[in-house]
């Protein structure tokens, strides 16, 4: 197995290895901006089931899982010089909330297929539990329809998380191409105490079954905060995530002023070194588990500052001698290294819903408030006047308002109309939608791929 020695990862022959690659976001944990739907995966699936029925909806989603990543995708990643794929998974593929502790073989079958494809192409995989029972953070990407992370409040959800990781460890304890286990994506525990307690439980439970694989741990508060963390666990890699504001949707001016702060390479460098402070202090490996700008216009001059943000981040990754995985590999045309054709059956079918999402800014990652600022601004002003001390965890009142409206209310209203777009489709038409995500039906984001290939070829 790969293992940690000091601040390095070494392979079975004792040679240093640097993990460089991307994440398979949107596959076994679907997200709206990646695959073009509003709200949470759970609500979207329930709405489609109401329109299509159980048989057709299962047929569609299984075809989607098979089409989204194939041997052609792995070969393309290998051509970029990548040697690792982080695989985000949603617990719902492995367990039903109405049947807790009864694990489903289909989830393991789908995960195993992609791990084996990657292994055949000499690509390591990191299993990333991206959406946990009870939700580990307050945002949509943990499949959370609320703004409360119940994982930290209920032992029942923690017990189910331990149970799932025990089974994953049993499945992969002898698999040398699994680099390790990323236990909790972007946890956000207001106390930190519950997070450290759960990390302790998970590591002990996994080590009883699998003493050899690397454990990958995210920091608290969406993988950025190390306060309250104990001394490092053995054979463990620590991860932070960082999306600089100039690379986000409202950005694009770089170097330049944004959100009351001047951003340039040195600004980003200071933040990345700050987020890596725990790893630097304890001399353990550093993994930047998620980063990368968004590209709303795809390979146009408008995107050139975003490419510079990426180059600067990768330069700093090299300064830190860090392992890295970008977010994300494939989507409908915002952040992916590969994206679906705008003329594809899927994009054309869901375009009316995409237009509604865009107009209302109903996806907080890919939308703006241009058409709703007359609603958002007065709410912010009212709360600041009436409750000036209101500062909810994790990111304050302004973010909370946006999450409640743009991440919950608006998507909740749009999702039924998204599902109705599928109502009249037969099985063959559903297959055509799912096959829109096949590698041969997608386009590479050439400028992005070129930059990543260049940096993946660099040495430690």
Sequence-distant (6+) residues with CB within 8 A of 105 are none
Provide, for the chain, the percentages of residues in helix, strand and coil under a 3-state DSSP scheme, each rounded to the nearest 5. 50, 15, 35
Instruction: Count CA atoms within 13 Å of residue 44 on its CB side.
Output: 23
The CATH code of the domain that includes 118 is: 3.20.20.80
Which three-class secondary structure state does DSSP give residue 264? coil
Give catalytic status of residue 51 as yes or no: no
Nearest to 325 by CA among 240, 259, 410: 240
Specify if 440 maps to a domain.
no
The Cα–Cα gap between 281 and 238 comes to 12
Whether residue 338 contacts residue 37, with contact meaning beta carbons closer than 8 Å, is answered with no
CA atoms within 13 A on the CB side of 149: 29
Asked whether the whole model's pTM tops 0.85, one would answer yes
pLDDT score recorded for residue 328? 98
Question: How many alpha carbons lie under 13 Å from residue 162 in its C-beta half-sphere?
Answer: 17
Cα dihedral: 437, 441, 447, 452 (round 10) = 50
Does residue 233 belong to any structural domain of this protein?
Answer: yes
Two tokens at 403? 């999450």
**102, exposed or middle or buried, with CB in 10 Å at 0-12, 13-18, 19+?**
exposed
Flag whether 222 is in a domain: yes
- Give per-residue burial for 309-336: e unless 16+ CB within 10 Å, then b: bbebbbebbeebebbbbbbbbbbbbbbb
Q: What is the pLDDT of residue 433?
A: 98
- Digit-by-digit pLDDT tens for the chain (460 residues) are 999 999 999 999 999 999 999 999 999 999 999 999 999 999 999 999 999 999 999 999 999 999 999 999 999 999 999 999 999 999 999 999 999 999 999 999 999 999 999 999 999 999 999 999 999 999 999 999 999 999 999 999 999 999 999 999 999 999 999 999 999 999 999 999 999 999 999 999 999 999 999 999 999 999 999 999 999 999 999 999 999 999 998 887 899 998 789 999 999 999 999 999 999 999 999 999 999 999 988 767 667 899 999 999 999 999 999 999 999 999 999 999 999 999 999 999 999 999 999 999 999 898 899 999 999 999 999 999 999 999 999 999 999 999 999 999 999 999 999 999 999 999 999 999 999 999 999 999 999 999 999 999 864 3
Contact 76, 24 (CB under 8 A): no
Alpha helices by DSSP H, listed for 224-344, are 265-275, 277-282, 304-319
Annotated catalytic residue, options 66, 186, 208, 271: 186
- Specify if 351 maps to a domain: no
Q: Which domain holds residue 142?
A: 3-27+69-337+445-456
Tell me how many domains the chain contains: 1
**201 domain-assigned:** yes
Helix, coil or strand: residue 198: helix
DSSP code for 100: E
Asked whether the beta carbons of 329 and 370 are under 8 A apart, the reply is: no
Give the per-residue pLDDT at 302: 67
Element (H, E) at 87: strand 84-90
- Whether the CA torsion 342, 343, 349, 355 is positive or negative: it is positive
Q: Is 97 among the domain residues?
A: yes
Whole-angstrom distance, CA of residue 337 vs CA of residue 108: 26
Q: Indicate the SS3 state at residue 27.
A: coil
DSSP at 225: B
Residue holding tokens 């999450």? 403
Set 31, 41, 95, 290: catalytic member: 290
Among residues 405, 360, 361, 362, the alpha carbon closest in space to that of 380 is found at 405
290 counts as catalytic: yes
């Amino acid at each position: 197995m790969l293992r940690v020695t000091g601040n390095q990862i070494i392979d079975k022959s004792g040679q240093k290895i640097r993990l460089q690659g991307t994440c398979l976001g949107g596959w076994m944990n679907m997200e709206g901006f990646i695959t073009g739907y509003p709200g949470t995966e759970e609500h979207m699936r329930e709405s489609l089931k109401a329109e299509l029925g159980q048989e057709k909806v299962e047929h569609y989603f299984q075809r989607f899982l098979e089409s989204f990543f194939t041997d052609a995708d792995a070969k393309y990643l290998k051509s970029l010089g990548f040697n690792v794929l982080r695989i985000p998974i949603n617990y719902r593929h492995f367990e039903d909330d109405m049947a807790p502790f009864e694990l489903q073989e289909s989830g393991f079958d789908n995960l195993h297929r992609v791990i084996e494809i990657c292994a055949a192409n000499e690509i390591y995989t990191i299993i990333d539990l991206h959406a946990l029972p009870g939700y580990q953070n307050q945002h949509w990407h943990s499949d959370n329809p609320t703004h409360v992370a119940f994982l930290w409040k209920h032992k029942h959800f923690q017990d189910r998380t331990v149970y799932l990781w025990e089974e994953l460890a049993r499945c992969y304890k002898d698999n040398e191409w699994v680099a390790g286990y990323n236990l909790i994506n972007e946890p956000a525990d207001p106390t930190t105490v519950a997070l450290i307690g759960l990390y302790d439980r998970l590591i002990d439970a996994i080590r009883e079954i699998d003493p050899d694989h690397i454990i990958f741990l995210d920091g608290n508060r969406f993988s950025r905060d190390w306060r309250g963390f104990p001394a490092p666990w053995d054979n463990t890699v620590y991860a932070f995530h960082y999306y600089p504001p100039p690379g986000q949707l409202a950005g694009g001016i770089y170097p330049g002023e944004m959100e009351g702060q001047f951003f340039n390479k040195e600004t980003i460098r200071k933040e990345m070194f700050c987020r890596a402070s725990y790893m630097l202090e304890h001399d353990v490996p550093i993994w930047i588990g998620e980063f990368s700008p968004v590209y709303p216009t795809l390979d146009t001059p408008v995107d050139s500052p975003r490419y510079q943000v990426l180059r600067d981040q990768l330069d700093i990754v090299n300064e830190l001698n860090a392992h890295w995985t970008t977010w994300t590999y494939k989507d409908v045309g915002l952040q992916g290294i590969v994206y679906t054709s705008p003329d594809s059956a899927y994009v054309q079918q869901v375009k009316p819903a995409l237009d509604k999402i865009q107009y209302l800014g109903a996806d907080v990652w890919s939308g703006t408030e241009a058409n709703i600022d007359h609603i958002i601004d007065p709410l912010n002003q009212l709360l600041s006047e009436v409750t000036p001390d209101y500062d909810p965890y994790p990111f304050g009142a302004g973010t909370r308002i946006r999450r409640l409206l743009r991440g919950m209310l608006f998507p909740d209203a749009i999702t039924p109309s998204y599902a109705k777009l599928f109502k009249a489709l037969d099985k063959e038409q559903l297959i055509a939608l799912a096959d829109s995500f096949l590698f041969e039906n997608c386009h590479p984001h050439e400028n992005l791929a070129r930059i990543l290939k260049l940096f993946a070829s660099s040495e430690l």
